[in-house]
Structure 1
Amino acid sequence: MAGNTDPINFWKAEDYFDDIHSWDCPQEVEEIIPDPPADIADPNHWHGITLKFVGGKLCSLQYIRPTVWRIRFDPTVISHNEYKDINTRTIIGDYLSQTIPDLDSRVGIKWVSKLDPLVKGATGDYWTFKSEVTSVSDSTDGHYEQGPAMSIHIYKKPFRLQASRSLKPLDELWPLPVEVIQSTPRLKTVWQTSEQTFRYKLDPDHDMIKNVILDVIKPGHGEYIGWGEQGGSNFMKKPTMMNYFNADNMQYEQVYDKGPTDPREPLYHSDPFFLDVNSNPEHKNVTATFIDNYSQMCVDFGKTNAGYIKLGTKFGCYDAIMLSGDTVRDIVRLYTAIIGRSALKPRYILGNHQSCYGYMNKQQLFDVVKYYRDRKIPLDGLHIDVPLQNNFRTFTVDRKAFSEPEQMFAQLRSDGIKCCTNITPVISANDLPGKEGYKTLRSGREKDCFIKDNRYTKGVSEEVSKINYMCYQNGNRNNIPADEWEKRPDFSKHYNKGGPYRGGVSYGYNDGTPGHYADLNNEDVREWWGQQYEDLFTMGLEFVWQDMTTPAIHESFGDMKGLPSRLMLDLPNQSPKLAIEAWAVYSYNLHKATFQGLSKLKCRENKRNFILGRGSYAGMYRYAGLWTGDNASTWDFWRITVSQVLSVGLNGVSICGSDTGGFEPARIRIPGQPEREEKICNPELLIRWYVGSTFLPWLRNHYVSRKDTKTGEMRKWFQEPYAYPIHWEEYREKNKTELVGQAWLYYGVEHIVKYYLELRYALIQVLYDAMFENQIEGLPIARSMFLTDPQDTTYFNESQKFLDDQYVVGQDILVAPIMHSRSEEGHQNESREVYFPLGYFWFPSNLRPFSSQRVPLVPSIPGGKVLDLRAPIPEYNDPAPGTTPQPEKMGYPDVLLHFIREGSIIPQCEVRQYIGDGKVNPITLNVYPHTWQEYTTYLDDGVSCSSAPKDAMRVEQLIKAARRRGQDASALENAKYDEYRAVKITHVIYSNEHVIYILLINSTRTITISRKVKDIDYDPKKEIGEEYTVVFWYEERLYNPDFEMAVTPSSGVTVEKSDDPAQNSLHAVILKVKETLGNTANVTIEIVMKEK
């Protein structure tokens, strides 16, 4: 409220770290207190100690898992009892001492922690705090072995921490002979702090300011991944400053004015979680760090000193969790076990979605859908922005522009369209006339649901006319002047009066409203919020688009376009906090309230719910998917998309993506001329963005077409793929010359995008299986090569750049999009270098949307190779008047470079115009040559909550939490689960009864199709029919139409050779299995290819 000079506000990392050399720092440990805090729920599972420093400061050190430890430091704490057992909302479960045994029982281990006496060491006196696994059950996930797990050395003076464990050597691709190999684990340091472990600086005037920095050693060969949305276009991050502070950061340029590739910008979502992946070269170790703080976090990632990572917080207790495991996969499992895993989302979420801020009436919605259907471009989701509302009143519908909404939604649903609308947290202060009025506003006032306007005013003027707010814009720290306050409706009437806080939202274009904000930190208010969705979902809404989640507030009503930083918020089980202290809690509780509310609606019984959120904090993915905020139609935004999705995926986020094509227009800046905006997304960029996102989890075209209030012009004219050829034809009819010679590009948008959407729908089972696996293992859908191929250590040197823009969907489809325009220097050839991970051969993909487009395999490419490959957009001359270019019969397979791992099993479906069209969609299993592989496919109805595995971690945690809170858990316990079928397909090659790893003449290819045994066997006949196809693909040199086949069991299941005449030219064996996939518990098919 003091504007630019207020210390209780956001400050850039550079300013935060400016004077840290003058800060205090604990230098010596005086004693170690073994006692747990007084409020502990289960003293048997504390696994912690408290360090008392000379001078009285206290630090809590605690094991959460045998190789996961937590450090808390609050320089104002005077008793170890102040380090409470209660979890933050980020961590699953209410109390950590209860969460620990829950996780132990989940993975089947028992373990202990122990503090050894002080040792007089050559490098200083130290204590050792150890963890040891004492028993491992047969059901464990393989991460744990019996014996010593971790040691944390606590140096007495100068105080520092050093964590070590025994590391195994990396598996070598070409190992030494077994007789001479040395594979003994070695004790290695996996994490350590400097001799200034905790620097801190308290504010003499404001008790809540507790600047604390954790100083971590950064080894010279260390490489780091993660960091959530932050970090620019590099997957492995380079030295930089970073800021974590959820903010409405349009086009990623408000604080530094450099745009999306600047890693310093604070973005919409905060996930301060990163992984050190190379501090112990040649050994199996990854050590991750998560900073659990809802306010601002600043990072100096080796920028001012290459040997250190400084992790700073400004408010609250410093709370850090470190995790150590053998691989990135281990870390993802550990982290998501503690933070929680996603609920299973509807299958249609993986389809194609269309959105626009500018669909102003229902006829526009019908027109969009008709265009998609007439052109047979698959479409599942239609996103209706705030114009749906009655004058920006959340939870209402404008029944003039969108008349008879029940019929509107029903008609769209009959066309296969699932609709969502934009729900922002503002509740307009503008009531409606009549007895009922604006129901949400009136009931919110009656039930006292809104945040109160109570302010912390120490150090600032209490005169209303002198109240200032602060926000960054275009790189400038702007002070909202005191004379602006009169523009805030009734500001003086409400300011610090204890009534509902009155803020307001601006959507641009004079769209917006003053309003109130639900106090979502209150459980009763979250219940009320969830109930507000009933009318919309009864009308026919299918899912929620949660926007402006910070909450984003007009700069005249708060700081950093959010709540006023000094506004007091109530928090459960705590004293009130300033808004800036609990900055990210609001958006977290917003998603939680929406998810829980939808789950309780009668019309949503047993239906999976989906929320698309713009941003929040770690753990938000338990309730929602994530899109990366308001981007623009620039190549830079496309270039960072892959890295963002892969980085966020390491945190357990299953659904994540950007606005395909960009939301805002690209700006054109020419020296000496006024800035102007492009009216469309460049067609080449849109093609590349769609095509490169074919296998990313979230695919939504979203743009703005509202009129600019200054110029009266539309911000963008269109962005739907079908609109590009229409635009080209309109220009030709008007004899405009701007687009002469570009028909291939404008028609190419529709034809090429259609082809790759069809390919996505053909391979939707691959995406769905990965999404299903996420709730079991925590692994993302789109994965970095670093996650799928950890055996390849060239990522730390010559192959590192390929991590930025290549990805793997599931485990086996490698994707290398084109990320540059052909107009850029060096990219005119529409080619790029592609790296193939070591240890496997890779086949150029022969997967096509339709069986009629299938082609034979071409020779595979050995892993480790880098090839410069073209992916051109096909060109042709402008068509003659009265004619239109027709799409290529065989499609456009060469516009996306994608490859299949040897030995892979890839399920494929028939292309549909939308998911869940009520028709049987049979599965084809594509089995590729060479090495042993296995694949699990998950079959269910795609929409029911009852598909969730009963033994999934999420289900167990919900039931246990309800019991502990004294709540009735019977509904959760008695709910239906396990209504799915898991089928594992294993591909093995034998020669003379020995398993081999490359296909040879006269070798035997075997696939075994096994149904997972569980209490309920879901029958997917309605979804996939009573027949499936198996295609054994061969390289031409190994194919012979004369082959032998054997099937086990020999009776009860019928396997027939296909009569498809194309299989010889395809060099494939095509088989029809006459039963629903998985009906027989185990089916083995053997193929022996004879010599030619």
Structure 2
Amino acid sequence: MWGKRTGHEKEGRRITVQYEGGEGRIEVINPWVIHVFAPLHTQEPESRAVEQPNPAFEACDYRVSEREGQLEISTEKLTVRVYDHFYVDIYDAAGTPLCLDYRGGRDPFLRRGNVSIAEGEGHEAMRTSGHHKIEVLKAMEGEEKFYGLGDKTGPLNKRGYEYEMWNTDDPSPHVESHKALYKSIPFFITLKERAAYGLFFDNPFKTFFDLGKENSAYYYFGADDGNLDYYFIHGPSVKDVVTRYTALTGRTPLPQLWTLGAHQSRWSYAPESRVLEVAEKFREHDLPLDAIHLDIDYMDGYRVFTWDNERFPDPAALAARLRDMGIKLVTIIDPGVKKDKGYSIYDEGLEKGYYATDKDGVTYVNTVWPGDSVYPDFSDEPVRKWWADNQKIMLDAGVAGIWNDMNEPASFTGPLPDNVRFKNDGRPTDHREIHNVYGHLMSQSTFDGLLEATGKRPFVITRAAYAGTQKYSTVWTGDNQSFWEHLRMSIPQLMNLGLSGFAFSGCDVGGFSHDCTPELLVRWVQVGAFSPLFRNHTAIGTRDQEPWAYDDETLDAYRQAMKLRYRLLPYLYDLMREAEKTGLAPLRPLVLEYPQDPKVREIDDQFLFGSRLLVAPVVEQGKRHRSVYLPEGVWFDDRTGERLEGGRAVLAEAPLDVCPIYVRAGTLLPAYPDRRYVGERKVDELLLYAYPGNGEYTHFEDDGESYAYRDGGYNEFRFAQEEKDGGLVLSLEKVHAGYTEGYSSIRVAVHGVVASSVILDGQSIEFETEDGNTSFNLSASGGEVRLNV
């Protein structure tokens, strides 16, 4: 549509390229990030993901020069060449091609036969996707691997798959052919032999991604409306891409520590006696727990911000009783407001014009849990403020967190019609443009309301999301099933969510629909114990899914996994602190840390927990062993203590109560003593496990709930170890002291070393040796320790 280039203008970080049929723009965000834009819908970019001011926007030098047949834009790291028809090719600083536009047209693989015959029998026939208003085709060299796109189904590597970004409430069993689920995160990473880069297509309309399924010569992304608006994000490593993408769209903020504990949920725990029964059973069976979630049945006729006075006569008293047991209350809030004159939320919103309307300006009504319902227009700032203020209703009742659901937005009749109208902060638009960001804006409003009311770090969980929602909310993968296939699928889903910027994510442990078998529940909790959001949740009508509802073997194995999670909480908290600073998620694919190892690029049934622990869960029924690939380096089998050379596969024994875990040599791993909930008692003594080798680690400690750490109210420790002169030298130093309620001592346990003496700052100290390990205590102020063997 653009035709020949006719000129260009440079202004600030933007280069506008004129064409016969319009204009395109190249914006230099920083030396590694380039913004490609054409005003096909609005004159300027309007992003719900890329907010201003933005740390990714850096002042940098760049050069613009006219060459024969091209306009060349060069930064310190990239060269961008712009041609006729707004073709854009991107090279690294050495001139190596990274991302080139495909010059041919779409050419789908041939499909043969009369598919209507198959459809007549009930089969869903494969068809080539139609053309779209916006289409960007990129050339493939052949070795590309693709990651990201949120929690889409299928394997870790998305090559050969196609997806749609259209937030969809689909409770049918999710399989690889699902093109759309609850979230729209139009960002993916391309890994090539020599480099990695990301592409973020910031278009909230329905968008389409084909990663070589249609034709292996190209991949493409497109949209039915909106602007041509995408960001190229150079690595060269996968880590660099994630870090730069999250600088652009925002990073997961450090959550309250209790939110990293165990959550228990069901549709539904009601009445309040059932809630208390569940809480008491957790304590009776010595199972750690920090939160119980209440699904829709706690409400009065499903009216949001209300309570059923018969089932829950005194919510504040219930919340107080649970708090005394160390358990927080989290309640679901859907966007659908019951159409009910006399119901204060409905009346106020109607009076102030806060709901989406039909094309004639009449409040739009559809059917959800309350029956006839209306939809708050979260695209309008006054509505977001009103909804945020309403969160105080729940907080005053003792609720500690809010769970947003059905916010695709969903209805019992399917997606809202395209012509439903929204105010869109002063530029009215229709549902096509708001649909994918509706849940994002609801999460933003909820986050703001909790922050304003409490001053603490908000806990919000959402089902629907868009790129950037990670700034406001944790997410889960939606209505999965109690199938082994869904356990297997959850691992690449969570890894790709992490690569897409969502560091705080999880899935329904045990599965939401169907009945979970004892063995499946155990294997699922062994994955859930390493998921940042750790929640057991199941549907109405399914069998009880609490661990005591099964046999003693199941209960014991479940308890073991939960207690491991709680011991590792300081490590997970450190990883969430890292996520806030770098965008890197705790649960990681091996390819993130070892991108040059071709053997890890397709591994999606094992993962890294941070960079130091490798977790290889059993995800097949009846299996009591599995093959585990260990990347380069030295690893310790956490169960047997065996020291193993990496770069190869090993066979791991995995009885029902064992999830194979391997620890990288040189690891220093912080841990807590057993506790039933976060804050049960002050942690005076940090446990520090040392796995011999060369390595260092930074540990963070604060009050676990406030923002005081941003003003220096935290302690930071730097731990290091080095194998030296036949012994092991440990350095433990408090490098920042801003939190007075911190540890008084540290107990160090050195794995696989039987010391003959332990020297602290030149003086011998007492130590213990047991089972081939050496343990000793020292003050939290630290020091240098030498273990002589």
TM-score range normalised by the length of the shorter chain: over 0.9
Q: Contact 2:751–2:773 (CA<8 Å) still a contact in 1?
A: yes
Corresponding letter in the other structure for 1:130: S
Instruction: Give 1:49 deviation, angstroms.
Output: 1.6
Instruction: Give 1:30 deviation, angstroms.
Output: 2.2
Alignment-derived partner of residue 261 in structure 2:
351
Matches within 5 A, 1:104-503: 104=58, 110-119=59-68, 125-131=69-75, 148-156=76-84, 160-166=87-93, 186-195=94-103, 211-232=133-154, 234-252=155-173, 259-262=174-177, 264-278=178-192, 281=193, 283=194, 285-431=195-341, 437-453=342-358, 455=359, 496=360, 498-503=361-366
Matched length: 766
Aligned equivalents of 1:820, 1:413: Cα separation in 2: 38
Is residue 2:575 matched to residue 1:794? no
Aligned equivalents of 1:210, 1:582: Cα separation in 2: 19
Give per-residue Cα distances to partners, 1:267-317, cap 9 Å, x unaligned. Answer: 001111111111xx2x3x211101111121112211121010011111111
Give per-residue Cα distances to partners, 1:65-124, cap 9 Å, x unaligned. Answer: 111111123457xxxxx642x55121021xxxx647x743xxxxx5212211222xxxxx
The structure-2 alpha-carbon separation of the partners of 1:251 and 1:1020, relative to structure 1 and needing over 3 Å to count, comes to farther
**1:1030 aligned to which of 733, 748, 763:** 748
Aligned equivalents of 1:641, 1:836: Cα separation in 2: 21
Aligned equivalents of 1:1029, 1:1056: Cα separation in 2: 13
Is residue 2:762 matched to residue 1:1057? no
Instruction: Give 1:35 deviation, angstroms.
Output: 4.3
Aligned equivalents of 2:437, 2:464: Cα separation in 1: 11
- Tell me the secondary structure at the aligned position of residue 584 of structure 1: helix
Aligned equivalents of 1:897, 1:942: Cα separation in 2: 30
Give per-residue Cα distances to partners, 1:667-717, cap 9 Å, x unaligned. Answer: xxxxxxxxxxxxx31111111111122211111111112xxxxxxxxx212
Corresponding letter in the other structure for 1:374: E
Instruction: Give 1:583 deviation, angstroms.
Output: 1.5
**2:49 aligned to which of 90, 111, 116:** 90
Is residue 2:684 matched to residue 1:979? no
Instruction: Give 1:514 deviation, angstroms.
Output: 1.3
Corresponding letter in the other structure for 2:352: K
Aligned equivalents of 2:503, 2:598: Cα separation in 1: 27
Matches within 5 A, 1:908-947: 908-930=671-693, 932-947=694-709
The structure-2 alpha-carbon separation of the partners of 1:210 and 1:1034, relative to structure 1 and needing over 3 Å to count, comes to closer
Aligned equivalents of 2:537, 2:217: Cα separation in 1: 42
Aligned equivalents of 1:197, 1:71: Cα separation in 2: 20
Matches within 5 A, 1:694-733: 694-705=529-540, 715-724=541-550
Q: Contact 2:684–2:745 (CA<8 Å) still a contact in 1?
A: no
The structure-2 alpha-carbon separation of the partners of 1:600 and 1:800, relative to structure 1 and needing over 3 Å to count, comes to closer
Alignment-derived partner of residue 35 in structure 2:
70
- Tell me the secondary structure at the aligned position of residue 538 of structure 2: strand
Is residue 2:30 matched to residue 1:30? no
Corresponding letter in the other structure for 2:439: S
Corresponding letter in the other structure for 2:629: Y
Matches within 5 A, 1:461-860: 496=360, 498-506=361-369, 512-555=370-413, 561-574=414-427, 576-601=428-453, 604=454, 606-665=455-514, 680-705=515-540, 715-724=541-550, 746-790=551-595, 792-795=596-599, 799-801=600-602, 803-822=603-622, 829-838=623-632, 840-846=633-639, 858-860=641-643
Aligned equivalents of 1:592, 1:1030: Cα separation in 2: 42
Corresponding letter in the other structure for 2:662: F
Instruction: Give 1:1044 deviation, angstroms.
Output: 4.7
Give per-residue Cα distances to partners, 1:839-876, cap 9 Å, x unaligned. Answer: x1111014xxxxxxxxxx63311111112323122xxx
Q: Contact 1:159–1:196 (CA<8 Å) still a contact in 2?
A: no
Give per-residue Cα distances to partners, 1:207-242, cap 9 Å, x unaligned. Answer: xx971100101111111111211141x111230221
- Tell me the secondary structure at the aligned position of residue 315 of structure 1: coil
Q: Contact 1:68–1:323 (CA<8 Å) still a contact in 2?
A: yes
Corresponding letter in the other structure for 2:224: K
Q: Contact 1:218–1:309 (CA<8 Å) still a contact in 2?
A: yes
Q: Contact 1:353–1:383 (CA<8 Å) still a contact in 2?
A: yes
Instruction: Give 1:573 deviation, angstroms.
Output: 4.3
Instruction: Give 1:920 deviation, angstroms.
Output: 3.1
Instruction: Give 1:196 deviation, angstroms.
Output: 5.0
Q: Contact 2:40–2:228 (CA<8 Å) still a contact in 1?
A: no
Give per-residue Cα distances to partners, 1:15-58, cap 9 Å, x unaligned. Answer: xxxxxxxxxx54x432232144xxxxxxxxx322222233x222
- Tell me the secondary structure at the aligned position of residue 422 of structure 1: strand
Aligned equivalents of 2:287, 2:270: Cα separation in 1: 23
Aligned equivalents of 2:254, 2:671: Cα separation in 1: 21
Percent identity at matched positions? 26
- Tell me the secondary structure at the aligned position of residue 537 of structure 2: strand
Instruction: Give 1:198 deviation, angstroms.
Output: 11
Aligned equivalents of 1:756, 1:340: Cα separation in 2: 32
Is residue 2:714 matched to residue 1:988? no
Q: Contact 1:336–1:652 (CA<8 Å) still a contact in 2?
A: yes
Larger Rg: 1
Aligned equivalents of 2:706, 2:557: Cα separation in 1: 33
Alignment-derived partner of residue 1069 in structure 1:
774
Q: Contact 2:666–2:695 (CA<8 Å) still a contact in 1?
A: yes
Aligned equivalents of 2:273, 2:507: Cα separation in 1: 27
Aligned equivalents of 1:550, 1:1009: Cα separation in 2: 48
Aligned equivalents of 1:772, 1:425: Cα separation in 2: 31
Q: Contact 2:153–2:175 (CA<8 Å) still a contact in 1?
A: no
Corresponding letter in the other structure for 2:136: L
What is the TM-score of this pair, normalised by structure 2? 0.93
Matches within 5 A, 1:1011-1026: 1011-1013=734-736, 1017-1021=738-742, 1024=743, 1026=744
Aligned equivalents of 1:593, 1:197: Cα separation in 2: 43
Instruction: Give 1:159 deviation, angstroms.
Output: 5.6
Q: Contact 1:198–1:212 (CA<8 Å) still a contact in 2?
A: no
